[in-house]
Amino acid sequence: MYAATRALFTQARLRPLALSVVVPTYNERANVEPLLERLDAALLGIEWEAIFVDDGSSDGTAELVASLAIEQRHIRLIRRVGRRGLSSAVVEGMLASVAPVLGVIDADLQHDEAILPALYRAVADEGCDLAIGTRYAAGGSTGDWAAARARLSGTATRLTTRLLRTDVSDPMSGFFVIRREALMASVPHLSTMGYKILLDIIASAPAPLTVRELPYTFRARTAGESKLDAAILLESALLLFDKLFGRWIPLRFAMFVGVGALGVGVHLIALGLLVGGAGLRFTTAQAGASIVAMTGNFILNNRFTYRDRRLSGLGFVRGLISFYLVCGLGMIANVGIGAMIYGSDHRWWVAGLIGAAIGSVWNYALSSALTWKRA
Mean pLDDT for 324-346 is: 70
Whether residues 204 and 336 share a domain: the answer is: no
Q: What is the DSSP secondary-structure string of 101-166?
A: EEEE--TTS-S-GGGHHHHHHHHHTT--SEEEEESSSTT-B-TT--HHHHHHHHHHHHHHHHHHT-
In this structure, the answer to whether residues 145 and 229 fall within a common structural domain is yes
Choose the final residue of a domain: 223, 245, 267. Answer: 245
User: pLDDT tens digit string along 204-255?
Assistant: 888 889 999 999 998 876 665 555 544 555 666 666 666 666 567 777 787 8
Per-residue pLDDT averaged across 16-24, rounded?
A: 96
Pick the last residue of a domain from 245, 277, 292: 245
**pLDDT at residue number 229:** 46
Q: Which residues contact 305 (CB under 8 A, 6 or more apart)?
A: 252, 255, 256, 259
**Is 359 found in the same domain as 311?**
yes
Q: Which of 210, 245, 280 is the last residue of a domain?
A: 245
pTM for this predicted structure: 0.67
Please tell me which of 76-80, 133-137, 274-278 the model is most confident about, judged by mean pLDDT: 76-80
Note whether 333 and 193 are same-domain residues: no
pLDDT digits (tens, 9 = 90+) for 140-164: 887 776 676 667 666 666 666 666 6
Asked if 152 and 229 sit in the same domain, the reply is yes
Tell whether 325 and 239 lie within a shared domain. no
Domain total of the chain: 2
CATH code for the domain in which residue 55 is found: 3.90.550.10
**Residue 265 shares a structural domain with residue 297:** yes
Closest CA to 328 of 298, 349, 285: 298
- Say which amino acid occupies 262: L
Specify whether 109 is located in the same domain as 51: yes
Residues 30 and 89 in one domain: yes
Q: Which amino acid is at 196?
A: K
Residue 307: Cβ within 10 Å count: 19
Closest CA to 148 of 233, 84, 76: 233
Residue 203 has pLDDT above 90, yes or no: no
Is the four-CA dihedral 322, 323, 326, 332 of positive or negative sign? negative
Q: Domain containing 183: what range?
A: 2-245
In terms of domains, do 304 and 362 share one? Answer: yes
- The 10s digit of each residue's pLDDT in 160-199 is 666 666 678 888 888 999 999 999 999 988 876 656 788 8
Identify which has the larger pLDDT, 254 or 37: 37
Residues 227 and 300 in one domain: no
Question: What is the predicted pLDDT for the residue at 4?
Answer: 57
More confident residue, 257 or 43: 43
Cα 49 to its chain centre, rounded Å, is: 24
| C-beta separation of 102 from 20 below 8 A | yes
How far is it, in rounded angstroms, from Cα 91 to Cα 173?
15
Single-letter amino acid code for the residue at 334:
N
What is the H or E stretch that residue 230 is in? Answer: helix 230-245
Q: Give the SS3 label for residue 52.
A: strand
When mean pLDDT is compared over 3-7, 239-243, 323-327, the highest value belongs to 323-327
Both 241 and 256 in one domain: the answer is: no
Contact of 219 with 267, CB cutoff 8 Å: no
pLDDT at 286 over 60: yes
Q: What percent of the chain has pLDDT over 70?
A: 74
For residue 48, what are the β-bridge partners?
19
CB 267 within 8 A of CB 290: yes
For the stretch 297-313, pLDDT in tens is: 899 999 888 877 888 88
